[in-house]
Amino acid sequence: MLFITPALVLTFIFTLVPAMTLLSYSLFGWKSFKRMEFVGLANFERLTQFPFRQDFTLAFANNVKVFLVLFFVQTAVGLLLAYAIYRLKRGQKFFQAIVFLPVILSLVIVAFIWKLILDPLFGPISTVAQQMDWPWLNQPWLGQPGLALFTLIFIGFWRWVGFPAIVFLAGMNSINEDFLEAARIDGASEGQIFRKIIFPLMAPSFTIIAILTFIGAFEWFELPYVIGGVTGQPGGSTTTMALLFYRLAFGTVDSATVDVGISSAIGVILFLFVGIGAALGSYYLRKREIEQ
């Protein structure tokens, strides 16, 4: 028992206690960080009214976009890279290391590098676009409401695609060579082998990436925070649930009004959404997996 106590106590105090109090906080009125009277579900009700309703819907829709786009692009490109490395006869380790490199970088660093690269006045992209006279490249990538969120998703993709690629590669490497050998002897082409054997047997890897991307997308914070600020500039177009939750709890640069009640209510909703979503998703995807 002595062995287990320190780990237990630490996890309890700093992970489980805050998670449980979050639920109770959402049921109280708040004055700054001071807890007031019990208000039942009033905080949740206020979320359905002006102005929170608009903020909430916009942020939620953005998170859904982030998840869908990121998941499809990441899976497609990750799969391509994984298969390319899988088929290499030499240099597998080398290309794995390159593909995975951005994953180890801090999101803050990644965000700042891209913010400067895409700077509309002084960034290399816009300079090159002007010198080459390529108007299609000379866009306000981070400054135009319809475009900024997708640019952010691209940056997230740049930083993270190595992760699914390596997980898929591990999935491919775990496939029994005998299946592939048998198919080759039967005259199947490599394309057929990929579609009919490798792809279906990689289902567990897809499940994991889908769940992780889902959780990551709905907790998206650092990247939009560093690039678009806590209010999701330009014009709130890059706001996310986590940003909304953060600015309601800790205020913004120009307004220090905080609303812990609403913020906790959003926390609870996200919590349930991510938890239930991840559980249902893994159940549904697991069912479709094939035993090797």
Burial class, 260, CB count within 10 angstroms (exposed 0-12 / middle 13-18 / buried 19+):
buried
Answer for the pair 82, 166: CB distance below 8 angstroms, yes or no: yes
Residues 34-73, interacting with another protein (CB under 8 A) = none
Give the residue from 235, 233, 255, 231 showing the smallest Cα distance to 243: 231
Beta bridge partners of 160: none
Among 41, 61, 64, 80, binds another protein (CB under 8 A): 80
| 158 touching another protein, by CB under 8 A | yes
Minimum separation from the CB atom of position 249 to another protein (A): 5
Q: Which stretch binds another protein (CB under 8 A): 60-68, 76-84, 132-140, 195-203?
A: 76-84
Q: Are 128 and 189 in contact (CB under 8 A)?
A: no
Report how far Cα 260 is from the mean position of its chain's Cα atoms: 25
Least distance to another protein from the beta carbon of 65, Å?
20
- Least spacing, CB of residue 266 vs another protein, in Å: 9
| Cβ contact 242:226 at 8 Å | no
Per CB under 8 A, 95 contacts another protein: yes
Q: Is 157 within 8 Å of 163 (Cβ atoms)?
A: no
Binding of residue 289 to another protein (CB under 8 A): no
171 binds another protein (CB under 8 A): yes
Which residues fall within 8 angstroms of residue 286, CB to CB, at 6 or more apart? 207
Distance CA 259, CA 245 (A): 9
Q: Contact between 90 and another protein (CB under 8 A)?
A: no
Stretch touching another protein by CB under 8 A, among 21-29, 38-46, 51-59, 175-183: 21-29
Among 20-28, 61-69, 133-141, 284-292, the segment contacting another protein (CB under 8 A): 20-28
Peptide bond into 135 cis (omega under 30): no
Near another protein by CB under 8 A, which window of 55-63, 82-90, 142-150, 175-183? 82-90
Residue from 69, 215, 229, 233 binding another protein (CB under 8 A): 215
Size of the site for another protein (CB under 8 A): 89
> CA-to-CA distance for 23 and 265, rounded, in angstroms?
8
Write the interaction track for another protein spanning residues 241-280; mark x where CB under 8 A is met and - where it is not: -x--xx--xx---------x--xx--x--xx--xx--x--
Half-sphere CA count of 1, side-chain side, radius 13 A: 0
- Count CA atoms closer than 13 A to 247's CA, side-chain side: 22
Binding of another protein by 137 (CB under 8 A): no
List beta partners, residue 31. 34
- The answer to whether 219 contacts another protein (rule: CB under 8 A) is yes
Instruction: Indicate whether 112 belongs to the interface with another protein (CB under 8 A).
Output: yes
Figure out which of the listed residues 37, 49, 51, 104 binds another protein, where binding follows CB under 8 A. 104
Q: Which stretch binds another protein (CB under 8 A): 42-50, 58-66, 108-116, 139-147?
A: 108-116
